[in-house]
Each structure stands twice: as C-alpha cells, then as structure tokens.
Amino acid sequence: MTPAPLTARLSIPSGPLFFPVTAYGPDGAVDLDTYRTHVRRGVEAGAAAVFACCGTGEFHALTPEEFDGCVAAAVEAAGGRVPVVAGAGYGTALAVRYARLAEWAGADGLLAMPPYLVRAAQEGLLRHYRELAAATSLPVVVYQRDNAVLTPATVVELARTDGIIGLKDGHGDLDLMQRTVSAVRTEAPGDFLYFNGLPTAELTQPAYRGIGITLYSSAVFCFAPEIALACHTAFRTGDEATAHRLLDGFYRPFVELRDRGQGYAVSLVKAGVRLRGLDVGEVRPPLHEPAGDHVARLARLIERGHALLEEDK
C-alpha cells in the first residue's frame, strides 16, 4: 500500500484504533489461533485499524520470528477490512529488519517505536527515521515518547520525508504538540497525521481535540470494545454528555487503577481480555501480572462501564 491510501484510511476513522495484545499459550509460546480470534473480534466490533505487535502487543518481548507470525496472523484475521500497521523498533538495523518482515507479512504500514535505550540528538533521530522509511515501501508513523521526543523543526523535516505520514505522541506535552502542529501546517503543509498515543488516551483526548488531533489509540478497545466505541462516537459527534459520563465514570477510575502498578498499561489490559472470556495468557517478563484485588476491581469497573452505556438507552 502506498502512503496516500493509508493516510486516507486513517484520516477519518469510523472506529477506535485497535492495539491488540499478543496471545500466549500455557507454555508461554505465542498462540496464533487465539491471537487471530482476538484480532478478528476487534475488527468485527468496529475497529478502524489494527496496530499489531506494538506497545500493548509486547513488541519488546517478541523474537523476529514471533513478530513475523503475529503480523501475518493479524493481516489474515483483518482480511483486508481495515489496515494493519505493525511495530518496528530498536536500533536502525533491527528496525529495518522488522520493517521488512512486516512488509513481507502483508502489513499496510509501520509504527516506528523509539530507539532502544539510547538518548540521541535530533539529528540522529531524524537520520534513524529517514533510513527506516527509505528501507521499506510501507508508510511510517513515528512514535514520540520517552527517549525520542522531537522538536517542531525535526517533525517538519519528518513531514517532508517520503514515506513518513504521521506522528504518534506518547509524551503528553500539549504545548510542544501545539507548536509542532503549527510548524508543520505552515512549513510542510499536507496530510500529515497526528495521534494521541498516551496510555488510556480517551481520558486526555478532549485536550488533544482542542489542538486538532482527532486520532488516538485505544487499549480499552481490547477488552471493552462497546465502551471504547461509544466513547469514540461521542467524541466524533460532539456528544459531550456521553463523553463526560464515560470519562468520569469509567476512564478516570481505570487510569487510577492502571497507575497502581508498573507495567499495568499492558498487563491490566491483558487481564481485561481474559476477564471477557478470551484466554490470551499472561505477560512476559519483565512485565508482571496485576495483583488479584486489582483484577477484581477491573472486573467491577467493566461492569460499571457497561451500566453507563445502558443509562444512555
């Protein structure tokens, strides 16, 4: 797929952007059958795109062979109904290897994860992402967070780079993002995309919408697609009453629970998928499973979220 079609398909999504967890069997090996089921259910529930083997999908814990199998399985399960974007990261050489694996597996695009471990100057980050984009025909979305925070000038250069179509922000500095959006709009006008990539992005999405960023990742969609879809629809249609009810009654308590443990942005989501009846296994080290009382609180919170949906009927 060329950059333009993927940009068009992501620009005005009909539903949440789905970041599936990676399923493991009792022996800890990747369970592709369960993974296909997870992806297929998400697409059928209304996902606008599948972002396979990214942060929620434990990209860091997958071997290249497992990554290849998971991306191919996601492409198969999506069946062309929505685009599949795959993670790619570590140093430049490994990121290129993952990008080519994703391309051969049939992915429609890449999410460029931050480089592993190092903190680099803007010039080095720009070179890294440009070399990644040049090594594949897949369009690239750059993921800004942690050790890869970009200046507006760097993002302008990325927007001018063939094959780079957008920026996902997991840093959360709205002042920086406002200046970035303004700089690209004036110095590299076009169809460059922006995504709110903070954990549980729904809670901060009203603020991101205020600076024109309407796309966001939804981990909640993994285990409560009905709630995530209702929230997405409320944002899209300007239904503030529904949005506020879900944000106040479900999303804020979920974020407070998520913040009770390191790595819960992944492990608590995976626990939620299991609570909804699909055994996707546990997280791999160094992540750890959430405490039992936290899982029980999550179960009650999911029930509360569905009760909130009934109030709107």
* Catalytic positions: 143, 168
**SS3 of residue 216 by DSSP:** strand
Tokens of 10: 């992501």
Buried b (16+ CB within 10 A) or exposed e, 60-93: bbbeeebbbbbbbbbbbbbeeebbbbbbbbbebe
Distance of alpha carbon 87 from alpha carbon 138, whole angstroms? 12
Q: What is the DSSP letter of 30?
A: B
Residue 309, amino acid = L
Q: Which of 21, 29, 114 has its CA nearest to residue 66?
A: 29
DSSP string, 128-178: HHHHHHHT-SS-EEEEEBTTB---HHHHHHHHTSTTEEEEEE-S--HHHHH
